[in-house]
Structure 1
Amino acid sequence: MIDTDELAKRNAEFADGGSFGNLKLLPSGGLTVIGCVDPRVDPSDVLGLELGEAAVIRNVGGRVTPATLRTLEMLSKVVQARTGGPRPGAVHYVVLHHSDCGITDLAAFPELLADYFDVPAGDLDAKAVTEPAAAVRVDVGILKQKLPAGAFVSGLVYDVATGLIDIVVAPARVET
């Protein structure tokens, strides 16, 4: 188990590096990644992101749920408060799912999943919980309906066995 003493030691090493000193609140890469909480799939490592390049939202399965949409709305309000308007420059949202995801085990608990997605249990098939590529397409479709025009959205599936990503949905601009 990693205890707080170890965390404090690691933090001191991080702080000594000073690489965080000039970071801004808004991601320098104009990127927001929605990914899974699985410790094998840290989006920063998997996608080679540097500190400050992306905002990362993680939840079970990396899914676009009502809670995810509320988080995105809150983030847009933070941006408005800081900049006086929408996020400047190109904005890219990436849905990152992965193989061997634990959410597939939750298919045996339809009531739990229905609550997670805020849908009736009978509508769970439309969420493609057991198929990562299909789930990416579902979630990208939801984002395209909810995000402002001009944002880019794409979808990836990470293979935990090979370490490679598959581009399931190429980046596309959200239309009005």
Structure 2
Amino acid sequence: MDDFDDLIAANKDFAEHFDLGGFDGKAHAGIALVTCMDSRIDPLRMLGLEHGDAKIFRNPGGRVTPQALEALVLGVHLLNVQRILVVPHTRCAMASASEADLRVKVGKSAGVDASWQSFDVVTDQLDQLRQDVAKVRTHPLIGERAQVGGFLYDVDTGLLTQHA
């Protein structure tokens, strides 16, 4: 396991200074966030939040998938979520490449045919954001129980712009 030694060492340092224990797992600020897995996004800091304030669900493109909806339902009913933000971002690979392009790139990287792999690419990011927000707003187990907003995060400025 030498490939992980640097991370294990960093974790030991983290654990020596760990002061986040005892957290109850609820969203203390009542926030849930669906956003992209992109490392340019710092979900808590971009909203002025801290550890324990929000439930965060990340996936390619920041899409409201069935798994994201599952997390949001649990958040609303069990984890104090009262406001939900759906936040894709600028310069996202899922919104700037076609499914065919991604299949070719992944196939080349893997050295095997990836034409069968599904990638949930987005052809119109703002329209897809509005659709994803509508999925949350109309979900029978969420609906009026939480405020829902759709925002685009600019990875070059750090600003959010509301679109839904």
**Would you say same fold, with TM above 0.5?**
yes
C-alpha separation between the residues in 1 aligned to 2:91 and 2:82?
29
* Contact 1:99 1:132 (8 Å CA) reproduced: no
Q: Deviations over 1:10-52 (max 9, x none)?
A: 2233323333123211111111100001111231233332111
Assess, with a 3 A threshold, how the Cα gap between structure 1 residues 140 and 74 changes in structure 2: closer, same or farther.
Answer: same
Secondary structure of 1:98's counterpart equals coil
Which structure 2 segments of 5+ residues have no match?
104-114
Assess, with a 3 A threshold, how the Cα gap between structure 1 residues 138 and 42 changes in structure 2: closer, same or farther.
Answer: same
Q: Deviations over 1:124-158 (max 9, x none)?
A: 9xxxx233333222211111001142311111111
Secondary structure of 1:109's counterpart equals helix
1:137 is matched with: 130
2:28 is matched with: 28
Match of 1:97 among 88, 91, 98: 88
1:107 is matched with: 98
Q: Deviations over 1:75-96 (max 9, x none)?
A: 567x2xxxxxxx55x6111101
Corresponding pairs, count: 146
Is it true that 1:167 corresponds to 2:159 in the alignment? Answer: no
Which structure 1 segments of 5+ residues have no match?
80-86, 118-123, 170-176
2:151 is matched with: 156
C-alpha separation between the residues in 1 aligned to 2:82 and 2:155?
27
Amino acid at match of 1:168: H
C-alpha separation between the residues in 2 aligned to 1:19 and 1:131?
43
How high is the TM-score relative to the length of structure 1? Answer: 0.69
How high is the TM-score relative to the length of structure 2? Answer: 0.73
Assess, with a 3 A threshold, how the Cα gap between structure 1 residues 164 and 76 changes in structure 2: closer, same or farther.
Answer: closer
2:16 is matched with: 16
C-alpha separation between the residues in 1 aligned to 2:161 and 2:129?
11
Deviation at residue 160 of structure 1 after TM alignment: 1.2
C-alpha separation between the residues in 1 aligned to 2:157 and 2:146?
30
C-alpha separation between the residues in 1 aligned to 2:87 and 2:148?
11
C-alpha separation between the residues in 1 aligned to 2:100 and 2:150?
26
Secondary structure of 1:23's counterpart equals coil
The share of aligned pairs that are identical, in percent, is: 32
1:172 is matched with: none
Deviation at residue 67 of structure 1 after TM alignment: 2.7
1:120 is matched with: none
Assess, with a 3 A threshold, how the Cα gap between structure 1 residues 36 and 14 changes in structure 2: closer, same or farther.
Answer: same
Assess, with a 3 A threshold, how the Cα gap between structure 1 residues 19 and 155 changes in structure 2: closer, same or farther.
Answer: farther
Secondary structure of 2:32's counterpart equals strand
C-alpha separation between the residues in 1 aligned to 2:28 and 2:39?
24
